[in-house]
């Protein structure tokens, strides 16, 4: 089965062709960093317009690179939420047009299910497992019992982890997205120079909170500007901030495994591209006897291969879905459970 995946939920216009659920024939990702970087975050109107300009070219590219024709596609899988409505609509309406024009079935995919199943592009993981989705919009812990069976165990109560990287990046004068640049700075810094607070919340809670950490970095930076005794480089601040995020993520991930008595974990989403997080999870997994898996970095950040993969499994589970899909609407908020 050949699945064309289309992803336009945020600031990446992406298309991919996946064969039989695990053989990736093409994966085209056109990011918009050049458009949004000077604003320090995503401007929704610009994102939507840019998707309109690019989506057909990106799809053509994905189909050509896969060495197939559009009429060979058996299923169109498209992100329907959560995300920016103006952006989602571009991918969704493009998928509907293709589905009508080619008489090809389509399925709407939850972007978070895409992140959660991205690992299956590389290997088959046995259920159940604990999934930590850490991205620009989400920091969620799920118990994944089977394809389509997910239970939310914890989530952020304020900022997402990636959002806090981007906001701290902005404070340090780094263009959007801040995550990869903070990781690079942190490699040269010493996280122990200044210890930023960790929000563990109530005992046993698997929720997260990163807004206090962000405020703490802002307060520290303000003091650094005014008080000569506060000496810390951007590298040290990046390392201290990153350590604080990672400590909490790893602690809650282990907590979720203990609570659910599960020994397999998958860490995914844009922030899972962070090398220090991957290493910390690997170390914690080793000392707790857990098996940890991460999608390759290119499958952690937004891409359409993961949407094709989730669409493939959703279609196999329920082939009748397709008839309704042409009336689907974009959803800014779309729970995964």
Q: Which residues bind ligand KG4 (CB under 6 A)?
A: 10, 135-137, 162-163, 165-166, 177-180, 183, 269-271, 273-274, 301-302
> What tokens appear for 92 in the block?
């969704």
Task: Single out the residue of 32, 256, 302, 312 in contact with Zn ion (rule: CB under 5 A).
Answer: 302
CB of 194 to Zn ion, least distance (A): 31
Pick from ligand KG4, Zn ion, none: which does 178 bind, CB < 5 to 8 A by kind?
ligand KG4
- Comparing CB distances to ligand KG4, the nearer of 188 and 319 is 188
Length of the chain, in residues: 337
Spatial contact of 243 and 213, defined as CB atoms under 8 Å apart: no
Strand partners, 146: 149
Quote the Cα angle for 240-244-247, to 5°.
Answer: 130
Pick from ligand KG4, Zn ion, none: which does 273 bind, CB < 5 to 8 A by kind?
ligand KG4
Residues 124-153 that bind Zn ion (CB under 5 A): 135
Burial of 306 (0-12, 13-18, 19+ CB in 10 A): buried
- Comparing CB distances to ligand KG4, the nearer of 1 and 298 is 298
Stretch that binds Zn ion, among 188-196, 205-213, 298-306, 315-323 (CB under 5 A): 298-306
Pick from ligand KG4, Zn ion, none: which does 271 bind, CB < 5 to 8 A by kind?
ligand KG4
Spatial contact of 115 and 133, defined as CB atoms under 8 Å apart: yes
Evaluate the omega torsion of the peptide bond into residue 81 and state whether it is cis, within 30 degrees of 0. Answer: no
| 110 scored as a contact of Zn ion (CB under 5 A) | no
Judged by CB under 5 A, the number of residues near Zn ion is 2
Pick from ligand KG4, Zn ion, none: which does 244 bind, CB < 5 to 8 A by kind?
none
- Comparing CB distances to ligand KG4, the nearer of 120 and 165 is 165
Burial of 110 (0-12, 13-18, 19+ CB in 10 A): buried
- Comparing CB distances to ligand KG4, the nearer of 140 and 183 is 183
Cα four-point dihedral sign 176, 180, 184, 190: positive
> Going by C-beta distance under 8 Å and a sequence separation of 6 or more, which residues neighbour residue 113?
148, 150, 310, 314, 336
CB of 71 to ligand KG4, least distance (A): 31
**Interacting residues with Zn ion (CB under 5 A):** 135, 302
């Amino acid at each position: 089965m050949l699945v064309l995946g289309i992803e336009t939920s945020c600031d990446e216009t992406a298309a991919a062709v996946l064969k039989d659920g695990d053989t990736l024939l093409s994966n085209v990702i056109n990011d918009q960093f050049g458009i949004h970087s000077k604003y320090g975050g995503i401007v929704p109107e610009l994102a939507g317009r840019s998707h309109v300009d690019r989506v057909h070219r990106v799809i053509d590219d994905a189909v050509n690179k896969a060495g197939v024709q559009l009429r060979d596609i058996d299923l169109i899988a498209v992100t329907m939420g959560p995300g920016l409505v103006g952006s989602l609509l571009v991918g969704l309406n493009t998928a509907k047009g293709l589905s009508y024009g080619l008489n090809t079935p389509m399925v709407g995919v939850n972007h978070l299910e895409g992140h959660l199943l991205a690992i299956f592009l590389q290997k088959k993981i046995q259920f159940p497992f604990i999934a930590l989705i850490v991205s620009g919009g989400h920091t969620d812990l799920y118990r994944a019992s089977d394809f389509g069976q997910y239970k939310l165990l914890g989530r952020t109560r304020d900022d997402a982890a990636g959002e806090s990287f981007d906001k701290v990046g902005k404070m340090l004068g780094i263009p959007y997205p801040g995550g990869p640049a903070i990781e690079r700075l942190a490699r040269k810094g010493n996280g122990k120079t200044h210890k930023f607070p960790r929000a563990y919340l109530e005992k046993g809670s698997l929720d997260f909170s990163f807004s206090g950490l962000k405020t703490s970095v802002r307060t520290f930076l303000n003091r650094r500007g005014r008080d000569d005794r506060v000496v810390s480089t951007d590298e040290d601040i990046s390392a201290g901030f990153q350590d604080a995020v990672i400590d909490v993520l790893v602690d809650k991930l282990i907590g979720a495994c203990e609570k659910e008595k599960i020994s397999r974990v998958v860490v995914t989403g844009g922030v899972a591209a962070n090398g220090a997080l991957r290493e910390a999870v690997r170390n914690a997994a080793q000392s707790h006897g857990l098996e940890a898996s991460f999608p390759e970095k290119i499958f952690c950040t937004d891409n359409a291969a993961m949407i094709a993969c989730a669409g493939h499994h959703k279609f196999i589970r329920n082939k009748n879905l397709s008839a309704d899909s042409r009336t689907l609407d974009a959803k800014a908020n779309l729970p995964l459970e």
